[in-house]
Amino acid sequence: MSTEISFQFDILVRLVAAALVGAGLGLERELHGHQAGMRTHMLVALGSAIFTVLSIYGFSATPGMAAPDPTRISAQIVTGIGFLGAGAIIKYGTNIRGLTTAASLWVVASLGVAAGAGAYFLAATGTLIALLALWPLHILVGRLNLQGGQLIRLELELKKLDAFAGVSRVLLSHHVETVTVASEKAKVGHRMELELRLPNASATHSVLADLEALPGVEIRTVNAAEEA
């Protein structure tokens, strides 16, 4: 009986460890406003761990037949997680977003497999390295400006749709790249949401000032945008 209790406790520890590593990565994604957050990552890691435990202990050998391969279920996790990751990748105009979240789901699945297999050091080390890649390295890249400019989201109200021609001229004169554009009919005129990449953060003030000076154009909101 003590052996059975010890075995069940070991399984519990593995599942809790998988849930914790998933929650750790998911919390980072959720803090940065991504759809696949803590719950999603936690469930992916937990599911991967359960499948791994089942592949190791869930199927006993049948006399006279080949022993079951414990890696078969785990191998399917690698394939299956690709479908979930693809759902996190969304194309906005010419810009593709969600690649980092898709990669984090892929990594968290591997961490769940590691925890389910009892490789706690591997799971913990992988979690720390993944968090380093998602958080401090993201900040460092932003500081070094390796992405090539300041990314902002801008919401405009246009009295007439042809007023966008003036907006385009202002953006072109300041060498601003238009990443995405969305437009919808409003009660009066049109509402537009733009994602823009400015040459640098200091250009923001002059761009907004020139846009506000345009007739028939009103700036509603300005927010910093994140990559991936």
pLDDT tens, position by position, 151-179: 788 888 888 877 888 888 898 888 888 87
Asked if 124 and 154 sit in the same domain, the reply is: no
Q: Which element (helix H / strand E) includes 218?
A: strand 217-224
Q: Are residues 16 and 87 in the same domain?
A: yes
Same domain assignment for residues 55 and 124: yes
pLDDT at 17 over 60: yes
Note the pTM of the prediction, 2 decimals. 0.63
Phi-psi region of 65 (alpha: psi -120 to 50; beta: other; left: phi over 0): beta
d(CA 201, CA 76): 45
Tell me if 70 sits within 8 A of 36, measured CB to CB: no
How many domains does the chain contain in total?
Answer: 2
Quick one: pLDDT band at residue 109, thresholds 50, 70, 90?
very high
Are both 105 and 167 inside the same structural domain? Answer: no
What is the pLDDT at residue 225? Answer: 58
Average pLDDT over residues 142-158: 72
Higher pLDDT, 121 or 91: 121
Q: Do 29 and 121 have their domain in common? A: yes
Q: What is the DSSP letter of 174?
A: T
pLDDT tens readout for residues 42-67: 999 999 999 999 888 877 655 666 66
* Confidence check: pLDDT of 213 > 70: yes
Residues 156 and 75 reside in one and the same domain: no
Report the C-alpha gap between 141 and 24 in whole angstroms: 22
What domain range includes position 197? 150-224
Sequence letter at residue 100:
T
Answer yes or no: are the C-beta atoms of 217 and 161 closer than 8 Å: no
